[in-house]
Amino acid sequence: MNFQHELRAETAKLIRRRWFFRQCGVGLGSVALASLLGAENAVAGNAPRPSNPLAPKQPPFKPKAKRVIYLFMGGAPSQLDLFDYKPTLAKYNGKPIPAEVVMGQKYAFIKPDAALYASEFKFSKHGGCGAELSEALPHLAEVADDIAIVKSMTTDAFNHAPAQVLMQTGSTQFGRPCFGSWALYGLGSEAQNLPGFVVMNSANGLSGGTALFGSGFLPTYYQGVPFRKTGDPVLYLSNPAGISDQMQRKSLDLIKELNEKHLGMVGDPEIATRINSYEMASRMQTSGPELIDISKESPETLKMYGVEPGKPSFAMNCLLARRLIERGVRFVQLFHEGWDHHSEVVKGVKEQTGKTDQASAALIKDLKQRGLLNDTIVLWGGEFGRTPMVESNPDVGRKLGRDHHPQAFSTWLAGGGIKPGITWGETDELGFHVVKDKVHVHDLHATLLHLLGFDHTKLTYRFQGRDFRLTDVEGEIVQGLLA
């Protein structure tokens, strides 16, 4: 199905309805408009009412998941210190890796004959499923039976920006829509008063920049809207100084009246859309602050996430992610870029798991107890993995680190049709190559789109004479991950 044509047709249908109202003398007072515009989305029923391109839509197949929370671990976490336990590494610790294994791969900073470096973390089995996890993830261990760990991820890029862009958009080249934009394009949003695709960041800036949540060649209303950790949660959400909510409302009312009058004069339906946009903006001015006001969350909840009220953190963003999806937001993208451990990987991993482990696990628990995990996908992972070899360089003070490693890395998923309590895929004894059930980035995307109710080869957008899709020309559904 090509949504582009559908969009056009549906917009046309709606516009004809507006004309009907006008021709029948209903007039264009605010009452009539209210029934025509945004508020109608609240009407129950399955029939989509696409008064705007973001109106909720049914995907072509029955979806297992309705929404996604993507915990993006930028910088690339070390799979060897978190998920992919390799006892053999200990045996060869300090020995150079054989050239037959490396097969000509070039590295960002280390030489291809660098020494192997065994994880300094202890691993043990958890849950009924016996998932093997590092001691750095004590909280995740508690939900081991709810998640699926993939140890056989692989990607094509090994510099941060291109790899992050690939992970988010399915291409290393800039200019493509990200996963969240595709989801919004295909599914629309159920959020009345909030953007359908929200982005939050809790650590360093992103190597891939805004392209990671951009809509590429899709229309801009499908791009991610950043929620800020300081100031207005959404840019320009607050009234200017000295303008009370009441004054703002009066201004908006007047703007609406004058726009309606102009609509009556020139008859361009785009003015109706503008009126709708202003009303949505006004609702966001209320719902934005309400969203970030966590005073009504129970102390147990705050404690479970490890949230300190008033303090921006990954934990806070996880809690807000739950609040966002409760309000109908389709796609929540959290970025936490702090995993680029070229030096002192042990220290770095401890630091970042200290910031993310508890809240990631809490999100699973919280969603589960609220009955939201069934139809919400939670995805955790970075853009590539890290080498089984050590990175060190006394000239610049690097020691006991790990370099970029695109051949194999780990990620985990939960909820929304994902088979819980499994570990998928295997790497070789050194954790260098995937040897079983390889999952390429495209395969991951294909699987996620499948869970959202799409055939990934059919969710397309015609651009430059070609039907583009998230999975480019690749992608196989990973059947083994499906519940």
Partner 1 sequence: MSFRILERTCLRELALLFLLSLGPILWLGFEDPSVAAEPAALIPPAASRSVDFVKDVQPILSEHCYACHGPEKQKGELRWDLKASAFKTGDHGPIIVPGNGAASRVIKLVSGLEPDSIMPPRGERLTPAQIGLLRAWIDQGAAWPETAVVARSAVDKRNHWAFKAPVRPSVPQADKRKWPRNPVDNFILARLEKENLRPSPEADLITLIRRVTLDLTGLPPTPKEVDEFLADRAPGAYERLVDRLLASPHYGELWGRHWLDAARYADSNGYEKDRPRSIWPYRDWVIRAINRDMPFDQFTIEQLAGDLLPKPTPDQRIATGFLRNSMLNQEGGIEPEQFRVESLIDRVDAVGKAFLGLTVNCCQCHDHKFDPFTQKDYYRFYAFLNNDDEAFLEVPTDEQSRQREEILSRIHSLENKAMSESTNLNERMDAWEKGLANPAPHWTALDPVIWENFGTKFEKQDDLSLLGGGDITAGGVMKIWFDAKLTNVTAIRLEALTNPNLMHGGPGEVGKGSFLVKELTAETYAMENPTVTNKIKFRRALADLEAPGFGVTNAIDGKTEKGGWTPTTTPEHRNENHYAVFECDEPVNLSGDLRLLITLHQTFNGDDKNKGLDADSKLDCHLLGSFRLSATTDPLPLSVDPLSPAQHTLLAIPSTQRTPEQKRELFSIFRLSDSACTNLNQEIDRVWEKWPYPATTMVLQQRPHPRVTHVFKRGDRLRPAEEVQPGVPAFLHPLPVGAPPNRLGLAKWIVDPASPTIARVIVNRIWQAYFGQGLVTTPEDFGTRVETPSHPELLDWLACEFMRPTTPDSGFGFAGSAGAQPWSVKHIHRLIVNSATYRQSSHVQPEIYAKDQFDRWLERAPRVRVDGEVVQDIALSVSGLLNPKIGGPSVFPPNPASVGDTVYGGFSWNESKGDDRYRRGLYTFWKRSLPFPTLTAFDVPTGETSCPRRMRSNTPLQALTTLNEKTFVEAAEAMALRVMKEGGPDNRARLRYAFRLCTGRQPDREELEKLLKFWQEQYDHFENDTADAVKVSSADLSNLPPDVNLHKAAAWAMVSRTILNLDETITRE
Per CB under 8 A, which of residues 323..382 are in contact with partner 1?
335, 337
DSSP symbols for 305-325: HT--TT---HHHHHHHHHHHH
Q: Measured from the CB of residue 258, what is the shortest distance to partner 1 in angstroms?
A: 6
Contact positions with partner 1 (CB under 8 A) in 142-161 = 159-161
Is residue 113 a contact residue for partner 1 (CB under 8 A)? yes
Let me know: does 82 contact 353? Beta carbons within 8 Å: yes
Residue choice 24, 43, 47, 473 for contact with partner 1 (CB under 8 A): 473
295-306 as b/e, with b when 16 or more CB fall inside 10 Å?
eebeeebbebbb
Q: Does 26 bind partner 1 (CB under 8 A)?
A: no
Give CA–CA dist 441/475, Å, rounded. Answer: 8
Minimum distance of partner 1 from residue 12's CB (angstroms): 5
Binding to partner 1 (CB under 8 A): which residues in 222-241?
Answer: 225-226, 228-232, 234-241
* C-beta closer to partner 1: residue 199 or 321: 199
By CB under 8 A, tell whether 261 contacts partner 1: yes
**Three-state secondary-structure class, residue 148:** strand
Determine, following the binding rule CB under 8 A, whether residue 419 of this chain makes contact with partner 1. no
User: What is d(CA 425, CA 434) in angstroms, rounded to the nearest whole number?
Assistant: 8
> CA–CA separation, 142 vs 344, rounded Å?
27
| Residue with smaller CB distance to partner 1, 42 or 396 | 396
Q: Which of 4, 58, 277, 374 binds partner 1 (CB under 8 A)?
A: 277
In the window 384-413, what residues touch partner 1 (CB under 8 A)?
Answer: 393, 395-396, 403-404
Strands 147-154 and 439-440: parallel
Q: Tell whether residue 22 is a contact of partner 1 (CB under 8 A).
A: yes
Among 35, 124, 210, 369, binds partner 1 (CB under 8 A): 210
Helix (H/G/I), strand (E/B), else coil: 16: helix
Does 310 engage in binding with partner 1 (CB under 8 A)?
no
Q: Is 271 in the site for partner 1 (CB under 8 A)?
A: yes
- Alpha-carbon distance of 427 to 410, in angstroms, equals 10
Any idea how long the chain is? 483
Residues 279, 37: contact at Cβ < 8 Å?
yes
Among 208, 381, 406, 416, binds partner 1 (CB under 8 A): 208
How many other CB atoms are there within 10 angstroms of residue 37's CB atom?
A: 21
Site for partner 1 in 439-468 (CB under 8 A): 455, 457-458, 464-466
Nearer CB in complex with partner 1: 31/247: 247
Cα 276 from Cα 437, distance rounded (Å): 48
Shortest gap between Cβ of 232 and partner 1 (angstroms)? Answer: 7
251 sits near partner 1 (criterion: CB under 8 A):
yes
Cβ 429 vs Cβ 88: under 8 Å: yes
